[in-house]
C-alpha cells in the first residue's frame, strides 16, 4: 500500500461538480492499493497516518500528529500510485489491486484510521474526482507499507 500524505489547511473532493467530502486542518492522503495488500499493510499505514508527526509544536518543530492537533484525514483512493513507468511511455498498472479487492482494503483502511479516534472523510471509490487542497508548508510525505521508500 502506498500513500502520498499532505498536510493541508483545507481539502475537498468533488464528483460531477458535487462536493462529496471536505476537511479543514489535517491530512490529505492519496492511497494506492497493491494486489498483495492485506490487514498487515492496512494496520501499518493507518498507524503511520495517525502517528505521523508533521504538525508543529510551540517551538515550530514537527512534534505533533493529526490526532494531537485534532485534525481530520481525507482519504482518496488513487490506483495510479502503482503506475509503473520504467518501460515505455504509458504506465502499467499491473501491480494495482483489482477494484473489488481494492475497495475492501480501502474500506478497511478508512475504518482503521477512524478506530484511532480521527475524523475521516473519503473520496468516492472508482469515480472521476476533482481533488482540491491547500498544502500547508508545503509538507508532503511518501509512505509505503512494503517499505520501498
pLDDT for the residue numbered 55: 98
CATH number at residue 120: 3.50.80.10
The rounded distance, in Å, linking the Cα atoms of 94 and 115 is 31
Residues lower than pLDDT 70 in the chain = none
In sequence order, the 6+-apart residues with CB closer than 8 A to the CB of 20 are 13, 14, 123, 124, 127, 129
The rounded distance, in Å, linking the Cα atoms of 85 and 37 is 21
Q: Which residues are catalytic?
A: 78-80
Query: Total domain count for the chain?
Result: 1
The whole-model pTM stands at: 0.96
Whether residue 147 lies inside any domain: the answer is no
- The parent domain of residue 92 ranges over 2-141
**φ, ψ for residue 114 (rounded to 5)?**
-60, -35
Question: What are the grid coordinates assigned to 8, written together?
Answer: 493541508
Whether residue 27 lies inside any domain: the answer is yes
pLDDT for the residue numbered 148: 84
Amino acid at each position: 500500500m502506498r500513500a502520498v500524505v499532505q498536510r493541508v489547511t483545507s481539502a475537498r473532493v468533488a464528483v460531477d461538480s458535487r462536493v462529496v467530502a471536505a476537511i479543514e486542518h489535517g491530512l490529505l492522503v492519496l492511497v494506492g492499493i497493491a494486489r498483495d495488500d492485506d490487514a498487515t499493510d492496512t494496520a501499518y499505514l493507518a498507524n503511520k497516518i495517525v502517528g505521523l508527526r508533521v504538525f508543529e509544536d510551540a517551538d515550530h518543530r514537527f512534534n505533533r500528529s493529526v490526532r494531537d492537533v485534532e485534525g481530520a484525514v481525507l482519504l482518496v483512493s488513487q490506483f495510479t500510485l502503482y503506475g509503473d513507468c520504467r518501460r515505455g511511455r504509458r504506465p502499467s498498472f499491473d501491480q494495482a489491486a483489482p477494484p473489488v479487492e481494492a475497495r475492501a482494503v480501502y474500506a478497511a483502511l478508512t475504518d482503521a484510521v477512524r478506530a484511532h479516534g480521527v475524523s475521516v472523510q473519503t473520496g468516492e471509490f472508482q469515480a472521476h474526482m476533482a481533488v482540491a487542497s491547500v498544502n500547508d508548508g508545503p509538507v508532503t510525505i511518501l509512505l509505503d507499507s512494503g517499505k520501498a521508500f
